Every structure is written in structure tokens, then in C-alpha cells.
Amino acid sequence: KALLKSAELANKIRHAEDFGLKVTGLEADFPAVVARSRKVSQRHERGVAGLFKKYGVTPIFGEATIVAPGKVKVGDQELTCKHLVVATGARAKVFPGIEVDGERVLTYREAIVRDVKPASVTVLGAGAIGLEFAYFWRGMGVDVTVVEGLSEILPREDVEVAKECRKHLEKLGIRFVLGTFVDTAVRKGDGTVVTLKDGRTIEADLVLVALGIVPNSAGFGLEEVGVTLERGFVPVDASMRTNVPGVYAVGDLTTRGGLAHTATRQAEICVERIAGHHVADLGYEDIPSCTYCVPQVASVGLTEEAAKAKGIAYKVGKFPFQANGKAQGAGSAEGFVKILIGDPHGEIVGAHIVGSEATEMIAEFGLARANELTADEILHTVHAHPTYSEAMFEAVAQALGRTVHL
């Protein structure tokens, strides 16, 4: 996210004259940009280490093997416990024909620390990771092409929102190749070549493979002690318990993972219940999804397509940031807020935001869903003026036929 901030700032400076400012000679110091992001990451790492010390947590570094439920071996050291929580995460999914070498054909792990600026990059996959790296590189002046096998970017998001996001990314100069899958992606000399299923080829300095994730569930004893796997992922119950007593799993390893904030809440519930505390189940449908390119995309609940498929009666409200004073003043008026309101009861079926501050705004709709608030309750909550968040109640008002600002 530190890399994305540098790209966002660079793009703002390129349009400084829109703010009455004259700036000449903008140059991205690519190694310095990457170095700053590493410093931010390392600062967080030191913070976590400090919290471990504060709360009496002893980290043990090494490769662990689960010998039996409640028994783990790290090197020559054997540890015993009553409760074992596994949080081994996931790694980038790589398909046959895609030859990752870590130098020219990369996953996000190599890309995030690579401090040599490429002239061109082909990004495979238009999900959150793919788009965020595409936005970063383009902000640094790199030629970027994104390949997506499906017909639109951000396939899990509302189609209208995804189209709006793509429109603005294309204005930045990012090219999209949609509706065709990748056959091969290989290194070719000092560059790469991607061959698509339709026979077209794309050459670039680098390839980023951003085609999803696979869980880190093999090679350390999970299956050997009897833990059930589904396509490599670990199914868990509401308390994060696996099918083996005393063994728990949280995060991207589980069938319900994929987001850092989901993993955090899973871990909290797991540990609190181990300690005997009563806490509510995790409402996965109330967890927001966020993509941090600019414009940002954030959503919670059902897309309009999903609501239709489920036969849910709903009303749609939409409010553009072009009609929002704060967005206009900030020079960030792209995008809109879209909300689906249940008919006739007014529950929040789904909420979708594409715009500059989308990821900061979505929590209000998540709070509303989690606490079963209605559209009327959002509408009658006074939102400060001028703020981006005014667009949220305005979208509700539009759905209810009560807006006066459109």
C-alpha cells in the first residue's frame, strides 16, 4: 500500500496545474520508492515484535512439523500444547505453462521488493493484486498490459463498479486484454513472452502472475494427523476448529480466507473461544472487500447480479462523486456509491463504492449490515459536510426516491 501511495502522489503531481500549481521535472526514483515501502513494512514488523515482548509471546523461528495433535517439532525442539492454531497462509497460484523464475516471471512476493524499474510489464489476472500492481507500475511510468480470462476486471465485484474502475485505469494508460486465457508465460532472453489461448503474443520486460492463491497446507503434517482438506484448503467451524480435536486453522489456509482482515477476526474468535469467552460468530457476508488502486473499489454484501440470482427483491440507489462537494474540491470526483436496499423492509442487501476514498467509506455499510440497520436509519444519520461519506446517505436517499441533490 506504500507503493500505491507513491503512484497516487505521482499521478496527482502530473495534474498539479488543475490545482493552480506549476510543477516541472517530476521523476520517480524507483529504488527509493521501493525502499520507502520496505521501511514501512519493517516498522510494522518491529511493532509486532514489540507487542510479542509486551504480552509475553515467545517466537520460535524455523520450519515446523505437526507430529501429532498437540505436538509440534521445530528442528531438534519438540513443543507440546493443548491447542494448536495453524496460520500458514497461501501463495500465488501458478498454472501449467507459466514458468515463474523470480527474475522475469514473478509472483507478488518478488514483485513487491524488486527495485529495478521495468520498461514494460504484463500482468496476468485482473483481481485486486493484479490491478494494484498495474496501478503502481503505471504511476511510475511503466507500460502495463493486464490480461484477464473473464469478460471484466474484478470478477467478484459488481459489474457496473468494475466497468467504472476499468474506465479510469484505461485513462491512465493501462491496457486490458479481456475474455482470453493465458496459454504460456515464459522468459525470453532479457524479457518475457506471454502466449494467449487465441494465439496472440505479448512481450514485456516482466510478467506478474496474479491468478489467485493456493493454500500452504502440505508438507508439515496436517494430513498426516488427519486434518481434512478441500482442494488444499482447511474447512473450519464457527470456532475455527478443524475436524481434529485441538487443531484449529485461520486465515488464507481456510476455505473462508483470502483477506487479511478476515484472518485477523478469525484468529480473534479462535483464541477468545479457546479462552472460554463468548463471542459472536463471524458474519462472513458482512466482511468488506477492498481494492486499493485509484479509483479504489470496496464492497460488502451481495452484488446486483447475486441478488437477482437469489430472487431477492431490492431497490437500487446510486450517487456519483461528481455531485459531492468534498470530492470535487479534492479533484477526485470519479466513481460513485451504489447501494441495494431490500424491498419492502429496507435492509442493506449490498453496497458498492468506486472512488478515491472507497476503502475508508465501506465500513459504515458493513456496520449497518452487521447490526441489521435499515436504509431509513442510515438516511436519518447526519453526515458531516463536506465529506465523501455524504454520498452514502445520498445513495440511500436516491434508492428511496427522496434525494434532492440529483
Residues with catalytic annotation? 385
- 222, 226, 256, 339 from 68: Cα distances, Å: 9, 9, 25, 49
Q: How are strands ordered across the β-sheet holding 182-188?
A: 182-188, 191-196, 201-204
What is residue 235's DSSP assignment?
-
Long-range contacts of 129-135 (CB under 8 A, 24+ apart): 129/210, 130/208, 130/210, 131/165, 131/169, 131/291, 131/293, 132/4, 132/291, 132/292, 132/293, 133/108, 133/208, 133/210, 134/169, 134/174, 134/293, 135/4, 135/7, 135/169, 135/172, 135/174, 135/293, 135/294
What is the distance, to the nearest Å, from the Cα of residue 280 to the centroid of all Cα atoms in its chain? 25
In angstroms, rounded to a whole number, what is the distance separating the alpha carbons of residues 399 and 393? 10
Q: What is the DSSP string of 322-383?
A: GG-HHHHHHT----EEEEEEETTT-BEEEEEEEETTHHHHHHHHHHHHHTT-BHHHHHTSPP
Q: Is 138:10 a contact under the CB 8 Å cutoff? A: no
